[in-house]
């Protein structure tokens, strides 16, 4: 049995089918991508995986236990960073710990212990509008990590960034992933990003959205920028493009 999975998830809104019979899996320590164009139900699936919405049919299972419709079982980072503009970076990041009832000084200390690894040291007292896009994303991801759940859902975590910043964050993300032993699902419509970060890729397409293909990226970590121009990378990219043309 897989560590985290969905089983034949189907969802309809106002009589319109959005996703149908979607089954995906995530093993411990994996990064799995859900790749597809905008508007095919990827975020709808994440809403159901996170327990924020219920499917019309199907189930969400975590470590052998059904968690369908039960929020708070996994960590979920939305497309927008949703940092509160009136709070400092340290207080934004410490929010999950404060919600759990920890005292402010304790929550700040615990969150601050990650600031070096997350490239945020020295910016504790800054406000979100004083940060670069990349730093805001790192702050949002750290806040997600501090929810302390075994599974992390990331909805287009690097969208809206320029290509150079995005490549830098990809390397940083993989380094942090190895250190913290996360298990993560992420959404993207960027083929290069999907290949570079993932252990496996699910291609989602159609109306309603369905899983049409699954690919394995057999490239060990640590991965570096040279992987982008490697023969194996280009072969996977060519295959994905061919598959997308068929759906």
Name residue 197's beta-bridge partners: none
User: What is the structure's pLDDT at 105?
Assistant: 93
Helix (H, G, I), strand (E, B) or coil at 190: coil
On whether residue 233 sits in a domain, the answer given is: no
pLDDT above 90 for 68: yes
For residue 30, CA distances in Å to 25, 60, 140, 151, 177 come to 10, 17, 21, 10, 9
Name residue 57's beta-bridge partners: 10
Asked whether residue 87 falls in the same domain as residue 186, the answer is: no
Domain of residue 85: give its range: 80-148
Asked whether residue 109 falls in the same domain as residue 157, the answer is: no
On whether residue 239 sits in a domain, the answer given is: no
Asked whether residue 28 falls in the same domain as residue 144, the answer is: no
pLDDT in tens, 204-241: 999 999 999 999 999 988 889 999 999 999 999 999 99
pLDDT above 70 for 16: yes
Q: Is the N-terminal amide bond of 222 cis, ω within 30° of 0?
A: yes
Asked whether residue 97 falls in the same domain as residue 56, the answer is: no
Asked whether residue 65 falls in the same domain as residue 156, the answer is: yes
- 148 pLDDT tier (thresholds 50, 70, 90): confident
Joined together, the tokens standing for residue 225 give 């920028």
Pairing of strands 75-77, 151-155: parallel
Name residue 188's beta-bridge partners: 35
- What is the CATH classification number for the domain harbouring 58? 3.40.50.300
H or E, element range at 240: helix 231-246
Asked whether residue 1 falls in the same domain as residue 69, the answer is: yes
pLDDT in tens, 149-194: 899 999 999 887 888 988 999 999 998 888 888 899 999 999 999 9
Asked whether residue 120 falls in the same domain as residue 177, the answer is: no
On whether residue 130 sits in a domain, the answer given is: yes
Number of domains in the chain: 2
- 81 pLDDT tier (thresholds 50, 70, 90): confident
User: What is the structure's pLDDT at 247?
Assistant: 62
User: What is the structure's pLDDT at 182?
Assistant: 85
Asked whether residue 160 falls in the same domain as residue 55, the answer is: yes
On whether residue 69 sits in a domain, the answer given is: yes
**How far is it, in rounded angstroms, from Cα 4 to Cα 75?**
13
Asked whether residue 103 falls in the same domain as residue 155, the answer is: no
């Amino acid at each position: 049995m897989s560590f985290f999975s969905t089983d034949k998830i189907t969802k309809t809104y106002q009589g319109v089918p959005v996703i149908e019979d979607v089954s995906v899996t995530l093993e411990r320590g994996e990064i799995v991508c859900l790749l597809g164009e905008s508007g095919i139900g990827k975020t709808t699936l994440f809403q159901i995986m996170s327990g924020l919405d219920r499917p019309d049919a199907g189930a969400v299972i975590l470590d052998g236990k059904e968690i369908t419709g039960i929020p708070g079982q996994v960590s979920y980072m939305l497309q927008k960073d949703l940092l509160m503009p009136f709070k400092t970076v340290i207080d934004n990041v410490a929010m999950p710990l404060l919600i759990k009832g920890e005292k402010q000084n304790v929550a700040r200390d615990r969150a601050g212990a990650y600031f070096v690894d997350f490239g945020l040291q020295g910016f504790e007292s800054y406000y979100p509008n004083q940060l670069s896009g990349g730093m805001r994303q790192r702050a949002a991801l750290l806040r997600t990590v501090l929810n302390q759940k075994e599974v992390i859902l990331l909805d287009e975590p690097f969208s809206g960034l320029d290509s150079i910043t995005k490549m830098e964050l990809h390397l940083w993300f993989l380094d942090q992933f190895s250190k913290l032993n996360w298990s993560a699902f992420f959404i993207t419509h960027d083929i290069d990003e999907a290949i570079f970060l993932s252990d496996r890729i699910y291609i989602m397409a159609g109306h309603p959205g369905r899983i049409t293909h699954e690919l394995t990226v057999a490239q060990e970590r640590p991965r570096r920028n040279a992987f982008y121009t490697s023969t194996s990378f280009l072969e996977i990219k060519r295959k994905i493009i061919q598959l997308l043309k068929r759906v």
